[in-house]
Structure 1
Amino acid sequence: MPTPEEIQRELKRFMKERFGDNVIVGIGPTGGTEPPAGQFAQSQAQKPGRSETIDQILQFNLRPKEVKAYLDRFVIEQEDAKKALSIAVCDHYNHVRRAIERKDKEEDYVKQNILLLGPTGVGKTYLIRSIARLIGVPFVRADATKFSETGYVGGDVEDLVRDLVRAADRNLELAEFGIIYLDEVDKIARGEGMVGRDVSGRGVQTNLLKLMEDTDVTVKSQTDVAAQMQELMEMQMRGQRPERKTVNTRHILFIVSGAFAGLEEIIRKRVSRSGIGFSGEPHNGEHDREMLRKVSTDDLIQFGFEPEFVGRLPIRVVCDTLDANDLYRILKYSEGSILRQYRSSFDAYNIDVHFTDEALRAIAERAAEEHTGARGLVTVLEKTLREFKYELPSTGIQNLEVTEQTVKSPHTSLNDALQEVDQIELRFCRDQVNAFARGFEERYGVALTFNETAVAAIWELSRQKGLTSANLIQDLFKDFEFGLKLITENTGQREFELDAEAVTNPEQWLSNAVRSSYTEPRKSPPASMPDDLDAPPDVDPMEDQQ
């Protein structure tokens, strides 16, 4: 039988190997574990009382119109969805407020969990996230496809509540009033012809039933090894099993959504059967989204959901497909427009981006062709501006105007922008060259002229070396004053034209010019130089320098 000290050593070694230094195991005088000095007192002191967010829920007095007005700032269209959500959220959190105020008088209340139906990219997630931000409650989002029935490989639906606890910064009281959003719920509908146990469909629906209604979820999962080890250490420290912390789901609002492809046909068949008769009207040409508005419980059951699961989603909201005009309005008017993100990306490089109205319409039209809702805007913008984001930060450009032509032909527009930048930089380079020439003449009495090939060579070389034109010129021609003075003494020449060769190989160019000065006839004696300084024609300039 190992001693307590041996158990502690083995436990400490295991925890370090398994979890690194993030978990500390201390050994107390009685052989039990105890936190480092001051840690327990600190944790006790940090236990929050009633949080500010709980007080905010207690003061909840929003009206449905106020909630919708807030959503209008971020979500374009979806009028019916925003109205239905505003009403449901106000009803739910008014109930929550009353429940907090009088815990001993819980009233019967049917929780208004919500089912959102609509294609991808129409703003379902954004609607729920905006509502959570307005109310100030924790919010988590997950895909239903990652879960499986308890006991099988896959996520446990109770992890949704634990994620909510983490989103609430471990504030259990606050987590009990949060929002859980489960997307792609249509993927867990029981498929036709399913043979055997459906652990990722019907099994998940069954596990969600109590969760969506009223149940207690332990904060520490049974499959969480770290949590189990922590519980073991607490039990050894206190000598008794610690009280398990739980979160009650009674006041957690559940919102599930999905595209529900194929549900329209189920509804259409039902409506067509009920419309047979003298007064019946054909429904074959009716739009899919109008069909979804007529969804019934039987339709959802036929789609593959359990009756009990459908019954726990009393509020059903249909989100409309977004057309090109809707996408244009999202770009232009939504406070959460993706354009803000792109402007911020360019602003990091001190580039101001402006989108013309025609460009926004062209982006919206192309995004509509993607058939992915507002997500298509990101696809089109990324395709349009990717090369701009790569090239422009390395240039001196400070303004970029995105036009309709930019959207239709981004590569051509980028080349035009770069050529314009090149011309601006070339003009600036020429100004720097001329300034150097003026200064050189003032100091040494020798006039320099740089032809177009020389200016172009200086500009290209400055880009390659990452230097300014002024710094590059100073470096290239730092010794020219001595060589040109010698040439002036030999020939009387005071004006020199420099070409590209003088830029790319200045030492060789100057050496050749000095050698030639000893064989060329003297043009005129310099005013400040005596005639006897003229070197004889047969003197080697290199010997003269020695």
Structure 2
Amino acid sequence: MSKDNDPPNPLEDLQKQIQEMLRRGQIPNPFGPQAGGPGVSASGAPPAQNETADDEESERDAVLRRIRDFSLRPREIRDYLDRFVIRQDEAKKVISVAICDHYNHVRRCLEDARLREKEYAKQNIILLGPTGVGKTYLMRCVAKLVGVPFVKADATKFSETGYVGGDVEDLVRELVRLADNDVELAQYGIIYIDEIDKIAAAGSAGTGGRDVSGRGVQINLLKLMEETEVSLHSQTDLLGQMQAMMEMQRSGKARRRTINTRHILFIVSGAFDKLPEQVRRRLMSSRLGFGATGGGSEVEDAELLTRVQSSDFIDYGFEPEFIGRLPVRVACRPLDADDLESILLQAEGSILNQYRADFTGYGIDFSIDRAAISEVARRAYEEKTGARGLMTVLERLLRDFKFELPSTSIKSFSLDARIMEDPRGAVRELLKANASSQREVLRKEVESFAERFHSQHNFRLDFDEAAVEALIEESLRRDKTIRGLCEEKFHDFHHGLTLIHRQRQQDRFAISAAVIANPDQELSKWVMESFKDLREGGAD
């Protein structure tokens, strides 16, 4: 068939249409003008944008320089992680070594391009352990220390091509996006995939799989973990393809459209709740295993996970090639009540610091004594969700304090073991003790509403003493804030005041107790009086 008879290429047609629309100015060019104009630099961006771009370029160079000059030692990484994550000593050791091995190799490849062509087995990691023990937090801290982009996703959100769900290559594209579309920086990032045990093949011995597409996801992830080129635009990303065509139209050359995964570090994790029993059966069937001592049934799950082998993962439902690309394996141990107490007292990222900051935002000092901390840890341990249980317990204890105290004059409170037994009753006691000063707080809120009303509508509302007292009494009786009460009563008030202003040029209005009792009725009287004055003035 001759070229003239070839069917038209729809992408070429689309590109021609976009170029024509750009030429006519029918759609904006997101890449800026072709040449500079008034107030525009030669790059086509305003000076302020150029300054921002310079700052971003400087930050990018600093990150790449840290990667090229990587010199951290495993113990230094471990010490850094100790500041944020309690226990998990073995996991910290393994992760620290793997990170150093990986980025030292990256540094050597950047120094000597010949090393890039040599075979190298990446230190991809698989973390095992229950929820809330710090698996994700460990990796976030590592990525922050090294300074590389970090992407976290759940394996359950992805599917084999052809099934409903996300494409695993989107993880790499997200890495590029987080690196501000800097492909060079993104290719040294970290991808962390949680709940990896949920994509074990269905019908396996571990019965951990979800459906047949789980195997397909493993195969697709395997390609990424080895080394492959990933397109920066997915087949369904029409906008990205349009932008690429417009970039070619602007500059005359195409931007880099793929990213290599050779230096991207992959970490996967999962609870693997059925794996310990599988390992126990294997050990008990071995002459040299636990069965020989008769103690297999008493071994904790955490200890069993430290003895997991590749065959256990394969029996669980993972492809041998997939699990083989995750050579670094470590089990995170569950946290007990003492560990949770240490998190509250020692970790730099303690949830207590977050709650203190929350109350500080309202001008309230929050403290908690040691006995109460121990009790919070004990209750959190009973939740069986690891460190996440700390927030569950604290939210339950402090929700009434957070709801009530910001609207009062109370500026400090302390949580102790007695209050923990009845936090709602403790709040009621605080409010009762604060009742006398609360009226002054409400009085100031009336003044604040008047200022906001003037700022929004240019009308002054002068509340007399009787009006203020009426608002305070209604606020206390209805358990409603002054702001909510005033917005309820005066939400359409400015419309009537605008009519009065047109007739009288009046912009200041006295608010009495009668207005508080029936604002619409009083406003109607004012409007009628203004029109009456207008008619009488016209008669004169």
TM-score, L = length of structure 2 = 0.72
Q: Note closer, same or farther for the CA distance 1:312–1:276 as it changes in structure 2 (3 Å cut).
A: closer
Amino acid at match of 1:158: E
Q: Is the 8 A contact 2:197 2:271 kept in 1?
A: yes
What SS does the aligned partner of 1:353 have? strand
Q: Tell whether 2:228 aligns with 1:215.
A: yes
Deviation string for 1:334-358 (max 9, x for gaps)? Answer: 0000111111111111100001111
Match of 2:198 among 187, 191, 194: 187
Q: Note closer, same or farther for the CA distance 1:231–1:57 as it changes in structure 2 (3 Å cut).
A: closer
Q: Tell whether 2:404 aligns with 1:405.
A: no
What SS does the aligned partner of 2:151 have? strand
Match in the other structure for 2:388: 375
Aligned-residue offset at 1:169: 1.5
Aligned-residue offset at 1:426: 8.4
Q: Tell whether 2:278 aligns with 1:266.
A: yes
Separation in structure 2 between the aligned mates of residue 211 and residue 3 of structure 1, nearest angstrom: 33
Match in the other structure for 2:144: 133
Match in the other structure for 2:493: none
Q: Tell whether 2:364 aligns with 1:364.
A: no
Deviation string for 1:54-90 (max 9, x for gaps)? Answer: 1111221111111110000000011111111111111
Match of 2:306 among 276, 286, 293: 293
Separation in structure 2 between the aligned mates of residue 81 and residue 68 of structure 1, nearest angstrom: 9
Match in the other structure for 1:484: none
What SS does the aligned partner of 1:104 have? helix
Q: Tell whether 2:263 aligns with 1:251.
A: yes
Match in the other structure for 2:92: 82
Q: Is the 8 A contact 1:149 1:199 kept in 2?
A: no
Match of 2:237 among 210, 224, 227: 224
Match in the other structure for 2:317: 304
Amino acid at match of 2:214: G
Match of 1:203 among 190, 193, 216: 216
Q: Note closer, same or farther for the CA distance 1:36–1:403 as it changes in structure 2 (3 Å cut).
A: same
Amino acid at match of 2:101: D
Q: Is the 8 A contact 1:331 1:360 kept in 2?
A: yes
Amino acid at match of 1:229: M
How many residues align? The count is: 430
Match in the other structure for 2:430: 417
Separation in structure 2 between the aligned mates of residue 90 and residue 150 of structure 1, nearest angstrom: 34
Deviation string for 1:102-147 (max 9, x for gaps)? Answer: 1133343210000000111110010000001111111110001111
Q: Note closer, same or farther for the CA distance 1:22–1:201 as it changes in structure 2 (3 Å cut).
A: farther
Q: Tell whether 2:70 aligns with 1:98.
A: no
Where structure 2 has 5 or more consecutive residues not aligned to the other structure, the ranges are 1-7, 443-468, 483-512, 515-540
Match of 1:115 among 112, 119, 126: 126
Q: Is the 8 A contact 1:264 1:291 kept in 2?
A: yes
Match in the other structure for 1:443: none
RMSD: 3.7
Q: Counterparts in 2 of 1:136-155, with a 5 A limit? A: 136-155=147-166
Q: Counterparts in 2 of 1:166-181, with a 5 A limit? A: 166-181=177-192
Match in the other structure for 2:402: 389
Separation in structure 2 between the aligned mates of residue 299 and residue 341 of structure 1, nearest angstrom: 40
What SS does the aligned partner of 1:41 have? coil
Q: Counterparts in 2 of 1:294-373, with a 5 A limit? A: 294-373=307-386
Q: Note closer, same or farther for the CA distance 1:361–1:423 as it changes in structure 2 (3 Å cut).
A: farther
Aligned-residue offset at 1:216: 1.2
Aligned-residue offset at 1:257: 0.2
Match in the other structure for 2:135: 124
Match in the other structure for 1:56: 66
Q: Note closer, same or farther for the CA distance 1:270–1:460 as it changes in structure 2 (3 Å cut).
A: same
Q: Is the 8 A contact 1:162 1:219 kept in 2?
A: yes
Deviation string for 1:432-452 (max 9, x for gaps)? Answer: xxxxxxxxxxxxxxxxxxxxx
Deviation string for 1:127-186 (max 9, x for gaps)? Answer: 000001111111110001111112332111111111111111211111111110000000
Q: Is the 8 A contact 2:155 2:195 kept in 1?
A: yes
Q: Is the 8 A contact 1:147 1:200 kept in 2?
A: no
Amino acid at match of 1:303: Y
What SS does the aligned partner of 2:269 have? strand
Match in the other structure for 1:41: 43
Aligned-residue offset at 1:419: 1.9
Amino acid at match of 1:78: Q
Comparing 247-256 and 197-206, the one that deviates more? 197-206
Amino acid at match of 2:416: T
Q: Is the 8 A contact 1:148 1:199 kept in 2?
A: no
Amino acid at match of 1:301: I
Q: Note closer, same or farther for the CA distance 1:23–1:372 as it changes in structure 2 (3 Å cut).
A: farther
Q: Is the 8 A contact 1:74 1:336 kept in 2?
A: yes
Aligned-residue offset at 1:407: 2.2
Separation in structure 1 between the aligned mates of residue 354 and residue 268 of structure 2, nearest angstrom: 28
Q: Note closer, same or farther for the CA distance 1:25–1:55 as it changes in structure 2 (3 Å cut).
A: closer
Share of identical aligned residues, percent? 51
Separation in structure 1 between the aligned mates of residue 14 and residue 384 of structure 2, nearest angstrom: 65
Separation in structure 2 between the aligned mates of residue 186 and residue 336 of structure 1, nearest angstrom: 28
Separation in structure 1 between the aligned mates of residue 140 and residue 44 of structure 2, nearest angstrom: 34
TM-score, L = length of structure 1 = 0.71
Comparing 162-171 and 129-138, the one that deviates more? 162-171
Q: Note closer, same or farther for the CA distance 1:56–1:5 as it changes in structure 2 (3 Å cut).
A: closer
Where structure 1 has 5 or more consecutive residues not aligned to the other structure, the ranges are 29-33, 430-456, 468-503, 506-546
Q: Is the 8 A contact 2:125 2:329 kept in 1?
A: yes
Q: Is the 8 A contact 2:129 2:333 kept in 1?
A: yes
Q: Is the 8 A contact 1:218 1:244 kept in 2?
A: no
Amino acid at match of 2:228: T
Aligned-residue offset at 1:405: 2.1
What SS does the aligned partner of 2:193 have? strand
What SS does the aligned partner of 1:131 have? helix
Deviation string for 1:355-379 (max 9, x for gaps)? Answer: 1111111111111111111111111
